[in-house]
Amino acid sequence: MAIYSFWVFDRHCNCIFDREWTLKSNQSSGTTNSKLNEDTAKLLYGMVYSLRSISQKLAGNEAHNEIRTIATGKYRAHILCTASGLWFILLSDLKQEDLSHVLRYLYGEIYVKTVAHNWLSPIDFAESEAEKRGQGFRKIRNRNFLLRVEQFLGPMVN
């Protein structure tokens, strides 16, 4: 099992959290909320956005045809889009067929408990109009979220 990276996007198309692991052998390697990941985040967002629109159009009259995974030659992207407009995305190797349960846990047990229930944390990370539509920069920085993401995903890195 190998997870490469984890991303959270908010309703304003902003990446509010990113975690990338660079060494398979080291759970604490890589970067968290890195400036260097800005462009990758935008590309990832664009890819999911496009495929999501297409899959919804293909569904025709049938409602809700949410995209769940996208596979390329090298990796697989696992996607959870909530009705509130949050996107949770994991990039893994091709062996991982379905990580939807992992994404559900990241949302329900980690995000909800350490961000939504944490009154010291913002729930909307864009503080003005200028920070909406993918132009924001604020990240989830509270230690409970960071710590629980590491504890939960760390063992899946290698």
- Residues forming the site for other proteins (CB under 8 A): 11-13, 42, 45-46, 49, 51, 55, 58-59, 62-72, 82-86, 104, 107-108, 111-124, 132-135, 141-148
Residue 34 to residue 38: CA distance in whole angstroms: 7
Residue pointed to by tokens 């190797």: 93
CB of 3 to other proteins, least distance (A): 19
Residue 27 to residue 99: CA distance in whole angstroms: 19
CB of 62 to other proteins, least distance (A): 6
Query: Which lies closer to other proteins via its Cβ, residue 24 or residue 108?
Result: 108
CB of 7 to other proteins, least distance (A): 15
Query: Which lies closer to other proteins via its Cβ, residue 23 or residue 71?
Result: 71
- For 72, the token pair is 């390329």
CB of 4 to other proteins, least distance (A): 17
| Closest C-alpha to 118, from 107, 126, 110 | 110
Query: Which lies closer to other proteins via its Cβ, residue 21 or residue 76?
Result: 76
| Closest C-alpha to 16, from 155, 121, 129 | 121
R_g of the chain, CA atoms, integer Å: 15
CB of 105 to other proteins, least distance (A): 10
Query: Which lies closer to other proteins via its Cβ, residue 25 or residue 129?
Result: 129
**DSSP 8-class letter at 24:** T
CB neighbours of residue 3 within 10 Å: 23
Query: Which lies closer to other proteins via its Cβ, residue 34 or residue 121?
Result: 121
